[in-house]
Structure 1
Amino acid sequence: MRRTIRQEGLVDQGLLSRLRISVIGDQGGLRDSFMSMGEQLGASVLSEIVRSPDFTVYLGDEIVPECDCNYTRVILLDDGVRLTQDRKATTGEPSALQKGGFATIGAALAWQEILRVCRAILPVEIAKKYVTVNLRIDPTTLGEIHDIERDMILEAGDGSEIPFSVLKRDDGTGHKLIRARLEQDHELTDSLLNSLSFLRREMTEEGSLPSEIELRLPRAHGALSGSGIIAGVGGLGSWALDTLIKSFRDSSSSGEQTELSIIDPDLNIQIHNLNRQVLYKEEDLGMAKAEIAKHRLENSVDRITVTSYNEEIGTGSLQMLHDVVVHNGDSSEDISWAEDLDLLHGGSLLDEDFPEMCRASDFILCGVDNLRARAILCGISSEIGIPMINAGAQGFHGQFDLFTEGGSCMLCRYGLGVLSQSGPMSCQEDGEVPFGSIVTSTALFGAIEGLAMISILADGPSSLDEWPSQISWSGRKNTISVEYTPDFGMFARIFDASDDHSKHIREMVLGGLQEDSNEESVTSDMESS
């Protein structure tokens, strides 16, 4: 399977691989981030000035010559990152804690600008690609063969066998239909699909207009210490931890008195994960994500303490935590009814260690792949009064959410519809919610999550009170919008104003209440872990 297969429903991979991209200058690790991300995208980057590049990226204070060409500048600020064509814009000096995260954000926005301006973005997202082959046969010509599926094979040109089904034709002919489905990344499928393009009849110029983006976040200082739960280390969680690793490296923090619990049920790192999940390498294929993420952290940060769990956090986790926090006692009776309803997915996490883990944590960082699990995690964070750092990325859209005590919650912000989506939202996999995924979106929002985590762990004068409560991104226009009101939520009116968020999340999740059929709902974008 190709590394880039999950992004090929979003971009013209052939065009992207042919683009001549020049990157000039450097600032605070921007160059390394840009080059690494280009490799993940399957693009070719020319590190020197070349004649007639398709696009040029100028980093930091590098002087931009007067020219009629496609370009952007990426500059790090004291407290953020800027994407601009302003030749006079000046750089800043981000803190050592945040420099690596801002460099990742800048690289992601720059690559998205290249995709837009060079028209490598497909006009519509293709969530799934496959080819259906139909062969109408006359079974009377088969002679002694009566069981077609047992006695016949459908063979590809390379000798491989292709599964097929047999359908009857109700037209009196006695004919049967042999139907086979060829998935993307099959030689026959690719030979056909690569010759097809699904385009607008009339192209517009909107997508090629240059973007001006400035993202600022509260400056963080000091050493890093504290504890937290990382739920999901796929596209988002891996970039959040990469941002944390760079923060430890650049600030020379030792990792002492820092404890993380990493939770992810995915036991099989696959080849297509490598083009957008930054922690994993080819030698990790087939390994559990939580265990490899733990290994990367421990090898990168000397004295950090990391525990990994190949588990899911489910409904029973929320119920147990509530019982222990409220009653300070055994919750076994309450859990038993949940087991009868087949609501538990937490496995060995649902023991006495899980509530203690939560109560010892300073935050929960959410990178899981379904909305219901996010609501449960939000209920857990609300129950114990710690922030939940949440983000979602789907195709060229994404958002970051910060849920703090006294603010909003998943249900208030996105509606009861989040509870009905319990299946994984995964990149182009049947049996799940299919969508394309690309590193520009996962790196952008994973890095923002990582920077929020750093603000919590930093012992200097940094505060989540000054952080945005939501950051939204539209990749097709490469624009960012920011919301600072912590308690905003278009669905908050549904709930009793006197209720705390943990109560109505718990009641909705554990009580199995259903959303009214006419109620409006909003879903949060996801990236698969």
Structure 2
Amino acid sequence: MSDRFSRQRGLLRQTVVEQIHLTLAPEDFPSSFVEAMTCLGEQLGAMPHSKAKVPGGFQVQWGPSSQVNEDHSSLQVNYGANGIFLDGQEAGEPIDPVYEPAVSTLAACLVWSEILRRAEAYLPIEIPKISVSVNVRVNENSLYNNASQLKFTLDGHRVHQNIRDADDGTMHRRVLMRIDDDDPLVHELIKKLNVHLPEHTIEMRTPVLPLSLPPLKPDLHGHLSVVGAGGLGTWCLHTLVEGMKHAKTSDVRFLVFDKDLEIEEHNLNRQVIYGPEDVGSTKIAATRRWLEQRLPNAHIETAYELIDAMAHPVEEASDDGIDLDDLFEPSSETSEVEEDTLTVQ
């Protein structure tokens, strides 16, 4: 089942996520937190939040509170120089605006994680892959031909055939016909799959994340290398760039490495800087475009193509790319490969 949320379905009950109602009054919250909650909600595939509370939905409130909230559907959040608190504690002085996009994103992650937990959206175990197969047991002793010479089909459905021994002492063999992942029947059956932990109860949690952020200089400058523009790297870039917009001046050089040759649709729900228009592009090319659009006045130097002998022939690489060998001093020592060494390229 290949779509934007195909990977996420191995961790979450997507149908539950899509039915979560969230109440959040933007005027009561820092704008950075509202943006982070909205962005994460879109990434998860949840409905947009509303101002009016919906029966059976969740409500997020801002600020410290001296009273313990026993309402399962209500969450209190507050962040500041002392950290992020969902237990009603005072958070201290306001944080530097450069830090706020990152801190507000962490706060939104804690809130959304607790909402998903209370809504029982998390699966009790990770399911990396789901497939649907028809399993046929055959007795080769009744045939003049063996099973591998036969073609098994399901009318109206594309299948992938695999034959293996039953391994139960019967001498039978199993013919597995895996139905194509994009088959509508597979989609319908996967939607009906449920995994539950019997007698499991959901307890309310109020996570806290203490912080000790050093003071920042008004001028930001330096060199930033990001190895991997995926689920972690893109969020790092997203929060950093949003924070840099609040700096008085900035002069940061970016060096981004990623060997993925193509952005796929399932990347879009957790790799925040990419959109539908980037599907099919390399991650490093899309990252370069994204940086240039958001920091037009900053000095940005990006190495958006990593030449790798296993990915691109050197002669086909872009002139704008870099070769890792150029980053290191050549070694004076030479190594010889023995004649019986197996080299894989």
Please tell me the TM-score bracket, short chain as reference. Answer: 0.7 to 0.9
Report whether the alignment pairs 1:259 with 2:261.
no
| Aligned mates of 2:50, 2:65 — CA distance in 1 | 14
SS in 2 for 1:164: strand
Deviations for 1:416-447, whole angstroms, at most 9, x for unmatched residues? xxxxxxxxxxxxxxxxxxxxxxxxxxxxxxxx
In our comparison, the structure showing a higher alpha carbon Rg is: 2
Letter in 1 for 2:112: W
CA contact (8 A) 1:15 1:120 kept: yes
Measured against aligned partners, the alpha-carbon deviations of 1:205-251 in whole angstroms (never above 9, x if no partner) come to 4xx22213133132333222111321111000111111121022122
2:225 corresponds to which letter in structure 1? I
Identify the match of residue 203 of structure 1 among 200, 218, 239: 200
Partner of 2:188: 191
Give SS of 1:3's match: coil
Separation in 2, partners of 1:62, 1:221: 33
2:238 equivalent in structure 1: 242
Q: Is the 8 A contact 1:71 1:85 kept in 2?
A: no
Spell out the pairing of 1:373-392 with structure 2 (5 A cutoff): none
Structure 1 residues 297-325: Cα deviation after superposition (integer angstroms, max 9, x where no partner): 122112222222234699x979x84xx3x
- In the TM superposition, residue 291 of structure 1 has moved relative to its aligned partner by 1.5
What's the counterpart of residue 134 of structure 1? 135
Q: CA deviation at 1:39?
A: 1.2
Aligned with 2:114: secondary structure?
helix
Cα deviation for residue 99 of structure 1 reads: 1.1
Rounded Cα–Cα distance in structure 2 between residues aligned with 1:50 and 1:102 = 26
Q: Which residue of 1 aligns with 2:80?
A: 77
Amino acid at match of 1:203: H
**Pick aligned residue for 1:213 from 192, 203, 208:** 208
Residues 22 and 45 of structure 1 are in contact (CA less than 8 Å); yes or no, is this contact kept in structure 2?
Answer: no
Q: 2:301 matched to 1:300? A: no
Contact 1:33/1:107 (8 A) holds in 2: yes
Question: Which residue in 2 is equivalent to 1:282?
Answer: 276
- Corresponding residue for residue 331 of structure 1: 331
Measured after TM superposition, the shift of residue 90 of structure 1 is 5.5
- How many equivalent pairs are there? 323
1:115 matched to which residue of 2?
A: 116
Structure 2 match to 1:457: none
Unaligned 5+ runs, structure 2: 311-322
User: Which secondary structure does the structure 2 equivalent of 1:73 belong to?
Assistant: strand
Answer yes or no: is 1:178 the counterpart of 2:175: yes
The residue type paired with residue 5 of structure 2 is T
Deviation of residue 172 (structure 1)? Answer: 12
Paired AA for residue 132 in structure 2 = V
What is the CA-CA distance between 1:121 and the residue it aligns to? 1.5
Between the two structures, name the one with larger relative contact order (CA 8 Å, sep ≥ 6).
Answer: 1
The TM-score, its normalising length taken from structure 1, stands at: 0.53
Residue number among 47, 50, 56 corresponding to 2:50 in the alignment: 47
Asked if the contact 2:262/2:283 (under 8 Å) is kept, the reply is yes
Are the counterparts in 1 of residues 81 and 213 from structure 2 also a CA contact under 8 Å?
no
Aligned equivalent of 1:441: none
One-letter identity of the residue aligned with 2:42 = E
Q: Structure 1 residues 261, 306: CA separation in 2 closer, same or farther (over 3 Å shift)?
A: same
Separation in structure 2 between the aligned mates of residue 164 and residue 282 of structure 1, nearest angstrom: 34
- Partner letter of residue 272 of structure 1? H
Q: How does 1:4-153 map to 2 (within 5 A)?
A: 4-24=5-25, 25-59=28-62, 68-78=71-81, 80=83, 82-86=84-88, 89=90, 92-136=93-137, 147-149=149-151, 153=153
Change (3 A) 1:33 1:137: same
Q: Is 1:167–1:178's contact at 8 Å kept on the other side of the alignment?
A: yes
Q: Please give the alpha-carbon distance, in whole angstroms, between the structure 1 residues aligned to 2:243 and 2:170.
A: 71
Say whether the 8 Å CA contact 2:307–2:324 is kept in structure 1: no
Q: Is residue 137–residue 173 contact of structure 2 (8 Å, CA) maintained in 1?
A: yes
What whole-Å deviation, never above 9, does each CA across 1:354-406 have from its counterpart, x for those lacking one? xxxxxxxxxxxxxxxxxxxxxxxxxxxxxxxxxxxxxxxxxxxxxxxxxxxxx
Change (3 A) 1:343 1:7: farther
- Residue 114 of structure 1 aligns to a residue whose secondary structure is helix
- The structure richer in helix per residue is 1
Q: Contact 2:23/2:53 (CA < 8 Å) preserved in 1?
A: yes
In 1, Cα distance between the equivalents of 2:279 and 2:144? 45
Counterpart residue identity of residue 225, structure 1: H
In structure 2, distance between residues paired with 1:33 and 1:95:
17
Residues 84, 170 of structure 1: alpha-carbon distance in 2 compared, 3 angstrom cutoff: closer
CA deviations 1:10-46 (Å, max 9, x no partner) are 2221122112211223214100110111111111133
Report how far residue 147 of structure 1 moved. 4.5
Q: In 1, distance between residues paired with 2:343 and 2:219?
A: 41
Query: Hey, what's the Cα distance between the residues in 1 that align with 2:47 and 2:238?
Result: 23
Within 5 Å, give how 1:313-462 maps onto structure 2.
Answer: 321=328, 324=329, 330-331=330-331, 333-334=333-334
CA gap 1:171/1:252 in 2 versus in 1, 3 angstroms: closer
Q: 258-267 vs 46-55, which deviates more?
A: 46-55
Q: Which residue of 1 aligns with 2:318?
A: none
C-alpha displacement of 1:166: 4.0
- C-alpha separation in 1, matches of 2:343 and 2:60: 50
Contact 1:27 1:76 in 2 (8 A): no
TM-score normalised to structure 2 length: 0.78
- The letter of the residue matching 1:4 is F
- Provide Cα deviations, 1:437-482, integer angstroms capped at 9, x if missing partner: xxxxxxxxxxxxxxxxxxxxxxxxxxxxxxxxxxxxxxxxxxxxxx
Cα pair 2:234 2:273 within 8 Å, conserved: yes
Contact 2:33 2:107 (C-alpha < 8 Å) held by counterparts: yes
SS at match of 1:113: helix
Residue 160 of structure 1: CA displacement? Answer: 4.8
Task: Work out the percentage of aligned pairs sharing the same amino acid.
Answer: 26
